A = this chain, B = another copy of it.
Amino acid sequence: MKATIITIGDEILIGQIVDTNSSYIAKALDKIGIATHEMISISDDKTHILETFEKLQNKVDVVLVTGGLGPTKDDITKKTFCEYFEDTLVENEAILLHVKGIIEGFYKRPITQINKEQALVPTKAKVLFNQVGTAPGMWMEKENTVFISLPGVPYEMKYLVDNEVVPALATKFERPYIVHQTIMTYGRGESLIAEEIEEWEDNLPPFIRLAYLPSPGKVRLRLTARGTNHELLLAEMKKQVEMLDLLIHDIIVGYNEDEPIEVVLGRLLTEDNLTLSTAESCTGGKIASLLTEVPGSSKYFKGSVVSYASQAKVDVLHISEEILEKYSVVSAEITEAMALSVQQMMKTDFAIATTGNAGPNKGDSDAEIGTVFIAIATPNGVFSQEFNFGQPREKVIDRAVSKALELIYKEILKK
């Protein structure tokens, strides 16, 4: 049961936008046991698309195409589908009404010719109705391959994948069992972990594979088991994860790949009815924005003071000028003072504070580029740690954010 995901668009091939759709689709397919064999990005060129379709015809069971369904002239997927399936476009009444509704109701303007054309679909296509946008999805079959076309706008694509594509594929195809288990670890490097679990890894059964997914400050370990006996897969996976936990218990923060640390943290805080605030300098509000991306975060996250300028540390966080002069803005003392101050201002149980120099140039302090201080204020006091996250700027900020989340997470676990 194999699928190929195709994303269409010159903007992808010149690197102007990053393709996030393929990843979302692959994850959804994987959950129902459909393996993505390849992801391919190709240009808005009809010949190129047709050649690719022909290569895949009868080689894979499903071809999912995103992009090229928008309202504008550079969208050619629909015409290409017509040519490949020797079909013609007809106006779909239901879609036309829907498009009218969105344009006239939501955008409060009359429908344009270009909008009208979105209601055209190939006669042989099964329409995948797009409730959240104006571009319809299409399902067409040729011999042993299903070709599915979806709009490129991420939330429209997601809506159709979740509500139309996945249910339809799950009904049409018999699928093998795939069991994944991700182990989220924080604060230790890939190669060190590999050394520690080498013997365990060497003794994994052949139907279970391990992958390392390193990113700044954290490594995800992913186990994948494939087979026909679902119970066996689940049992063996459970056993292997328990063995692994014995080896690296100290760095494991969670087991759900859909649960980054900010989500796990949010659940802990909600359960224990605890609250959190942040005072951010070098991370510039990124910790706050990550925390608030989690639905329901208003239960435990009260807010943040982004004191990017030194003066803001005085004016908003009431750090005294003296201690700012005595210690540098990038110092343990100032970071701890910031954490205590925001904890008090926001009336929260815990607070995180960051200061540092992310580069490329030195800022208000003469701290080395890459230097970051992270302070954690708890109901019992405050502590801080110094780090050097190297370069470049993006890496320093990202590592500071994940390290801060790791420190607060471990602190809250202690309670």
Which A residues form the contact surface with B (CB < 8 A)?
9-20, 22-30, 35-44, 70-74, 106-107, 109, 112-115, 132, 134, 153, 155, 180, 182, 189-192, 194-195, 201, 209-215, 220, 222, 224, 257, 277-278, 280, 283-289, 291-293, 295-298, 301-309, 311-312, 315-316, 345-347, 359-361, 363-364, 390-395, 397
Q: Take A114-B194, A295-B393 as given contacts and tell me if A222 and B11 are in contact as well, using a CB distance cutoff of 8 Å.
A: yes
Using Cβ atoms and an 8 Å threshold, which residues of chain B touch A19? 18-19, 22-23, 39
Q: Smallest Cβ distance from A273 to chain B, in angstroms?
A: 14
Q: Smallest Cβ distance from A309 to chain B, in angstroms?
A: 4
Q: Smallest Cβ distance from A14 to chain B, in angstroms?
A: 5
* B345–A316 touching, CB < 8 Å: yes
**Oligomer: number of copies:** 2
Who on chain B is nearest to A103 by CB? B191
* A315–B395 touching, CB < 8 Å: no
Q: Which of B15, B278, B304 contacts A24 (CB 8 A)?
A: B15
Enumerate the 9 nearest inter-chain pairs by beta-carbon distance, A residue then B residue, closest first.
Answer: A284-B292, A15-B27, A285-B285, A285-B288, A15-B26, A304-B306, A303-B312, A39-B41, A71-B191
**Known A15-B23, A16-B182; 20 more pairs at CB < 8 Å:** A11-B211, A13-B38, A17-B215, A18-B23, A19-B23, A70-B212, A70-B214, A71-B194, A72-B212, A74-B212, A114-B195, A153-B214, A284-B289, A285-B286, A285-B292, A285-B306, A293-B393, A296-B361, A298-B364, A304-B308
Q: Smallest Cβ distance from A51 to chain B, in angstroms?
A: 11
Q: Smallest Cβ distance from A329 to chain B, in angstroms?
A: 11
Q: Smallest Cβ distance from A362 to chain B, in angstroms?
A: 11
Using Cβ atoms and an 8 Å threshold, which residues of chain B touch A278? 306
Q: Take A39-B40, A73-B210, A308-B303 as given contacts and tell me if A16 and B293 are in contact as well, using a CB distance cutoff of 8 Å.
A: no
Task: Identify 8 residue pairs between A and B in the complex whose beta-carbon atoms are under 8 Å apart, listed by A's number.
Answer: A10-B211, A15-B23, A19-B23, A22-B41, A40-B41, A155-B395, A288-B288, A292-B308
Complexed CA–CA distance, A291 and B18 (Å):
21
Q: Smallest Cβ distance from A189 to chain B, in angstroms?
A: 7
* A302–B296 touching, CB < 8 Å: no
Complexed CA–CA distance, A41 and B107 (Å):
38
The listed residue with most B CB atoms (<10 A of its CB), out of A30, A113, A306, A397, is: A306
Q: Take A73-B201, A316-B345 as given contacts and tell me if A303 and B303 are in contact as well, using a CB distance cutoff of 8 Å.
A: no
Using Cβ atoms and an 8 Å threshold, which residues of chain B touch A308? 288, 292, 297-298, 301-304
Using Cβ atoms and an 8 Å threshold, which residues of chain B touch A295? 359-361, 393
* A26–B42 touching, CB < 8 Å: no
Q: Take A191-B71, A224-B10 as given contacts and tell me if A16 and B213 are in contact as well, using a CB distance cutoff of 8 Å.
A: yes
Complexed CA–CA distance, A224 and B45 (Å):
14
Complexed CA–CA distance, A195 and B111 (Å):
11
Q: Which of B30, B113, B115, B293 contacts A15 (CB 8 A)?
A: B30
Q: Smallest Cβ distance from A222 to chain B, in angstroms?
A: 6
Q: Take A289-B283, A306-B305, A394-B155 as given contacts and tell me if A27 and B38 are in contact as well, using a CB distance cutoff of 8 Å.
A: no
Complexed CA–CA distance, A397 and B155 (Å):
13
Complexed CA–CA distance, A212 and B17 (Å):
12
Q: Smallest Cβ distance from A255 to chain B, in angstroms?
A: 14
Using Cβ atoms and an 8 Å threshold, which residues of chain B touch A41? 22, 38-40
Complexed CA–CA distance, A191 and B180 (Å):
42
